[in-house]
Amino acid sequence: MKLHIVLVEPEIPQNTGNIARTCAALGAKLHLVYPLGFSISEKQVKRAGLDYWDKLEIEEHLNFETFLKQYKPEEKNMFFVTTKGKQVYSDFDYSKLDEIFILFGKETKGLPEDILQKYIDKTIRIPMKESLRSLNLSNSVAIVAYDIFRQCEFNGLEEISQYFV
């Protein structure tokens, strides 16, 4: 299974660095959709990603429109993460999919409302108390990405038990 994590206009460099590290650990491809709220070369991004940048596949996109034209949500297993999601992320069975795209919006606004409405059946959410706005972006990516790998029996990831043999 190939996992793609798509960050649409991320604003906080530390979040993007943390997400890059998660992607490296999973072997997931990271897509960065411009404009970014920072320079990819900023010290905070590099620090948060530690020394994992060279172990990471990154694809950059000029804007969201060009990403959607290139990857066509109608043809791909593409899921849009939003607090307004139609289904809970863990209710979907990802284990039979060969390639999965998980899209996350900017920290302050999320994904564009018109896109969420257009692909409402592809929206997913992380359950949380109604009185709260949202979870941290890097935490949200980790929650969803690791559950996808859990459903796929962590296929392609090393078992920690082999270090204790």
Please give the model's pTM, rounded to 2 decimal places: 0.91
For residue 164, the model assigns a pLDDT of 45
Report the interhelical angle of 137-151 vs 13-26 (nearest 10°).
10
Residue 46, token pair as written in the block = 């590099």
Residues 74-89, mean pLDDT to the nearest whole number: 96
The reply to whether CATH 3.40.50.720 applies to domain 2-164 is: no
| pLDDT value at 11 more than 70 | yes
Please give the C-alpha separations between residue 134 and each of 82, 84, 126, 160, in angstroms, as whole numbers. Answer: 9, 10, 9, 32
Q: Extract long-range pairs of 134-143: CB within 8 Å, 24+ residues apart.
A: 134/83, 134/110, 136/15, 137/7, 137/10, 137/12, 137/15, 137/19, 137/104, 137/107, 138/14, 138/15, 138/18, 138/19, 138/22, 140/81, 140/104, 141/5, 141/19, 141/22, 141/102, 141/104, 142/22, 143/89
| Sequence spans of domains, the chain | 2-164
Q: Which of 85, 31, 16, 83 is nearest to 61 (CA)?
A: 31
With beta carbons less than 8 A apart as the criterion, state whether 38 and 45 touch.
yes
| pLDDT value at 68 more than 80 | yes
Euclidean distance between CA atoms 122 and 106, whole angstroms: 18
DSSP letter assigned to residue 136: -
For residue 51, the model assigns a pLDDT of 67
